[in-house]
Amino acid sequence: MTELWNTLVYYFSFPFVQYAMIVGLLIALCSSLLGVTLVLKRFSFIGDGLSHVAFGAMAVAIVAGLTNKMIIIIPVTVLSAILLLRTGQNAKIKGDAAVAMISVGALAVGYMLINAFSKSANVAGDVCSTLFGSQSILTLTKSEVWVCIAMAAVVLAVFVIFYNRIFAVTFDESFAKATGVKADAFNLLIAVVTALIIVLAMNLVGSLLISALIIFPALSAMSLFRSFKQVIICSAVISVICAAAGIVLSVLFSTPVGSTIVCADIAVFIVFRVISMIKER
């Protein structure tokens, strides 16, 4: 056990492991805060759809040979979030059908582009690390960490400043509208912030596992707590602890980072559900 601890301490002396932990915790915190709202508003699947769009955008950036892929990924994902929400109200193709269409469409086009036009010798590696995170979180540069900190700060600030209005829009849009809140605009804001979190989280767990980061902590917290504030706090704590545990375990035992974090989330979800069932008896 002491040797394991020494190895862990030794590994954490490497800058890239420290960067991974900082970014991982920030992403986990941001995603859990919005997760509660998204789950309650039935926006869970929008997160999944947007993550696939982000994969498609990243494929375009890879094919274009861009060093900084964020220039394409952020605008495309944010635009898709806006389109999904806006057209969802008026368009002929609505709701889950629109999300599914954009989701699989972006995935297919992205994969085709990478295979057909990528100059990289390791297409399988590119796809693997984009879809499942692979080692991406352990290969961050210092400037990427700063970008992540800045974006996480923006997301946290939005959530803290507009907590009351997000709360109102989440539970009762009619009430919110009646009292002067432009609920549509706040829905749009939630979608935009979700898009930003998804872009951030691609480095941590990959685009296919992002939804888990958003959904599981929220559902786990809802199993035991009832008030909005309690659920938000519990969700944030669960998400941060699972991310930390996942990163530590994956560094120690060489498991894929994203999958390990999600497995930790699943384990906590099962434990919380069991506790909830016992309490209800």
Partner 1 sequence: MFGKISAVIISAAVITAALSACGDTSATDTLIEKNESAAAFVLTTAATTTAAAPAETSAATETTAAADNLSGETETDDYLSYVPPVETKSFAEGIDAKNGDIDVDLTILNATMTYSQVYDMMTNPDLYAGKIVRARGTFAYAHDNDRDYFAALVQDATACCSQGIEFVTAADMKYPDDYPPLDSEIIITGRFHSYKEGTFTYIELLDAEVESV
End-to-end alpha carbon distance in the chain:
39
Q: Is 232 in the site for partner 1 (CB under 8 A)?
A: no
Three-class DSSP category at 11: helix
Residues 6+ apart with CB under 8 A from 188: 82, 85, 86
CB of 3 to partner 1, least distance (A): 5
Exposure pattern of 70-94 as b/e (b: 16+ CB <10 Å)?
A: bebbbebbbebbeebbeebeeeeee
Residues 95-114 interacting with partner 1 (rule: CB under 8 A): none
Residues 252-281 interacting with partner 1 (rule: CB under 8 A): 252-256, 258-259, 262-263, 266, 269
Backbone angles phi, psi at 122, to 5 degrees: -125, 70
Determine the Cα angle at 136 with ends 202 and 255, to 5°: 105
Q: Is 211 in the site for partner 1 (CB under 8 A)?
A: yes
Q: Is 174 in the site for partner 1 (CB under 8 A)?
A: no
Q: Is 139 in the site for partner 1 (CB under 8 A)?
A: yes
CB of 110 to partner 1, least distance (A): 17
Q: Is 189 in the site for partner 1 (CB under 8 A)?
A: yes
**Angle (deg, nearest 10), helices 163-171 and 183-205:** 100
Binding part of the chain for partner 1, among 1-9, 51-59, 104-112, 236-244 by CB under 8 A, reads 1-9
Q: Is 219 in the site for partner 1 (CB under 8 A)?
A: yes
Binding part of the chain for partner 1, among 25-33, 108-116, 156-164, 237-245 by CB under 8 A, reads 156-164
Between 4 and 104, whose beta carbon lies closer to partner 1? 4
* Whole-number Å distance between alpha carbons of 240 and 25: 5
Binding part of the chain for partner 1, among 7-15, 24-32, 107-115, 234-242 by CB under 8 A, reads 7-15
CA dihedral (46, 48, 53, 54) in degrees, to 10, reads 120
CB of 202 to partner 1, least distance (A): 13
- Cβ-in-10-Å burial (0-12, 13-18, 19+) of 194 comes to buried
Residues 17-76 interacting with partner 1 (rule: CB under 8 A): 17-18, 39-42, 44-45, 48, 66-68, 70-71, 74-75
Per-residue tokens: 237: 């704590």
Binding part of the chain for partner 1, among 23-31, 86-94, 101-109, 211-219 by CB under 8 A, reads 211-219
Between 113 and 132, whose beta carbon lies closer to partner 1? 132
Q: Is 242 in the site for partner 1 (CB under 8 A)?
A: no
* Whole-number Å distance between alpha carbons of 22 and 223: 28
Binding part of the chain for partner 1, among 9-17, 22-30, 52-60, 103-111 by CB under 8 A, reads 9-17
